[in-house]
Amino acid sequence: MKKQKKFILALAPMAGYTDLAFRRLASQYELDWSTTEMVSAKALFYGDKKTKSLMKVAPDEAKVSLQLFGEDPKIMGKVIGDLSQNPLPYESFDINMGCPAPKIVKSGAGSALLNDLERGKRMMEEAVKNSSIPISIKVRKGFLEGETTGLAMAKAAQEMGISWITVHGRSREAYYSGHSDWDFIGEVAEEINIPVIANGDIKTPEDAHFFYEKTRCQGIAIGREAVGKPYIFKQLKESLKGNPISEYSLSERIQMGREQLVMTLEDKDERLAILEMRKHFIHYFRGIPDAKKIRDRLMTLKTKEEVLEFVEEIYRKNGGNIDK
């Protein structure tokens, strides 16, 4: 019988989505690991208080990494060193070397580091040298289509003492178009000895089995597919173990959205919580008759009482009942 390897199911970081509330909710469904939204090392260096709100963790969430981005190796090292002076609630610091957002790339951070291997190596060196916890990185296949500079960065990561690496199989140029190159991710896992976590277009149990059975990857990171489906981690884990896969009704999914809203209201002010939850409810409401009318109505609601009452109404109409 094949020996079962430890295989991590992680929530990939997504700016504006993987906040504290969403991570807490996903943690209820057998999530192994998550990562915060990106935090600017430079903003921390200069004491920006707003940035620190992204760093919060909760005792009821899965293991979590703090993801940092920046273009200056010295600032990255200093920030990590300062944070490491105190006990940390994180399992690792994760350095983003893959974000394709124009604003991030223009600053020299994120995917821009794929164009500067030496600066990337200095970034990792400073991080490892100053940290009290493991350092991981996230990369893409390359900067331009056809490039595989992500492999060179992965090899450098092993050389510099990085503990594991998440690989997204697209170039920066591709952004999120096309399909993640899973063969490339598998190649990286073959070429280096540190753990590789696969990322990009992993949506189904069959996708998870591919990386589990046919590559040396030691986990997968789910991003966009988890929005509106925090239970996907439980389903994938059940499939990998050969167990029946749990199914969730429309009313159960709506209830998950309501629970996420309540958690978001606990963490953020009312106006911001309602604005941010609108994009999540679009996904939770998939499959509802007259979904567009419901979404349009949701966009007009401004108080937590209005939103909670509206969500409960939709919930009841779709077979559920919320105890007040």
Tens-digit pLDDT profile for residues 103-118: 999 999 999 999 999 9
Cα–Cα distance between 22 and 31 in angstroms, integer? Answer: 11
- State the DSSP string of 155-171: HHHHHTT--EEEEEEEE
Model-wide pTM > 0.95: no
What CATH architecture does domain 8-240 belong to?
Alpha-Beta Barrel (3.20)
Of residues 49 and 116, more confidence is placed in: 116
Fold of domain 250-317: 1.10.1200
DSSP 3-state of 19: coil
Q: Is the pLDDT of residue 2 over 50?
A: no
- For the chain, percent of residues with pLDDT exceeding 70: 97
Looking at this protein, which amino acid is placed at residue 55? M
Q: Cα 52 to the chain's mean position, in Å? A: 18
Of residues 138 and 299, more confidence is placed in: 138
Tens-digit pLDDT profile for residues 236-282: 999 999 999 999 999 999 999 999 999 999 999 999 999 999 999 99
Domain positions in the chain:
8-240, 250-317
Of residues 92 and 292, more confidence is placed in: 92
State the CB neighbour count (10 A cutoff) for residue 212: 20
Residue whose token pair is 């208080």:
49
- Cβ contact 104:67 at 8 Å: no
Q: What pLDDT is stored for residue 322 in this prediction?
A: 45
Q: What pLDDT is stored for residue 49 in this prediction?
A: 84
Q: Calculate the average pLDDT of the chain.
A: 94
State the CB neighbour count (10 A cutoff) for residue 160: 20
- State the DSSP string of 193-245: SS-EEEESS--SHHHHHHHHHHS---EEEE-GGGTT-TTHHHHHHHHHTTPPP
- State the DSSP string of 67-136: EEE-S-HHHHHHHHHHHTTS--S-SEEEEEE----HHHHHTT-GGGGGG-HHHHHHHHHHHHHH-SS-EE
Q: What pLDDT is stored for residue 5 in this prediction?
A: 67
**What secondary structure letter does DSSP report for 240?**
H
